[in-house]
Amino acid sequence: MSKFLKTFFLSTATLLQVVSTEANSIDFLKPGHRVWIAPEFYQLNRHREGGSKQSGPMYGGRIGYDYIKRSNIYLGAQGLIASGHIKGNSNGTNLKSKFTDKMVEGRIGYTFQSKNWCQPYVTPFAGFGYFWESNHFEKPRDFRIHFDNQFSYVPVGFLSEIFPWDQFSIGLNFTARVLIHGRIKTSNDPQYQNSRLLYQHKLQYRVELPLSYYFCCMNNPWRITVEPFYEYRHYGSHINHPFDFMDTKFNIYGVNVQFYLNY
């Protein structure tokens, strides 16, 4: 037993020494290509004009790629898929539905980074994306309507990061979504045929606070990021047929854990 413990602690110490040596030999401020995957959890709160409210947890994940380097063009792409059940009520009637989010987005920008102090950088960007949002009601039984919202958008914002300690960083990211073409398809309605509803395009945004740890393993730079975030969605009221679309807002609070491979 004592021989096993001695071997274990010796191996652990050797591994830590190798990781530390590798970490000191690689410049984390020039990550270049980044491939990442992130499980994501968030609490979704939906409020529709007229008193309808729903809320519930959403589970899913993101996957993405970034090329980000000091004084260079920035390129990025990411995708999201998440789903969950949200519950609530409307004028005393209990509601339950399955909610799903899907998104793909591409970005282009430029990275400005200082070589002094804590080497902060900021990367303004713009791009193009497409969003799928579905709300399929399960309760009450006579209201099992499916709402499928799709819209294209232009993301505009910035990424930023500062390195106050060796191998640790703090960031602030902001993305605004400018909607271009949005429509909601209704189906499974017992009273009306399938239809499409228009809504007013309102500004949406997302704020992220990434906290990152950089390390090396087998001479490759890696990064783990814990990222709390807040997201706001808004769809304005619009006159439609056979029924109008009512003003709807979403307040979303969540966190994801990102695993990066830099190369």
Domain parsing of the chain, residue ranges: 2-262
- For residues 129 and 156, give the distance between their C-alpha atoms in angstroms, rounded to a whole number: 11
pLDDT at 23: 44
pLDDT at 33 over 80: yes
Q: Say if strands 195-198 and 32-48 run parallel, antiparallel, or are unpaired.
A: unpaired
**Going by CATH, does the domain composed of 2-262 fall within 1.10.3720.10?**
no
Q: Which two tokens stand for residue 222?
A: 């890696």
Q: Is 158 within 8 Å of 199 (Cβ atoms)? A: no
pTM, two decimals, is 0.86
> Which DSSP helix (H) or strand (E) runs through 182?
strand 173-187
Q: Per residue in 55-114, pLDDT tens? A: 999 999 999 999 999 999 999 999 999 999 999 998 888 999 999 999 999 999 999 998
- The conformational region for residue 7 under phi > 0 = left, psi -120 to 50 = alpha, else beta, is alpha
Q: Per residue in 131-175, pLDDT tens? A: 999 999 998 877 789 999 999 999 999 999 999 988 899 999 999
Taking the mean position of all CA atoms in its chain, how far away is CA 25? 32
Taking the mean position of all CA atoms in its chain, how far away is CA 59? 11
- For residues 203 and 156, give the distance between their C-alpha atoms in angstroms, rounded to a whole number: 11
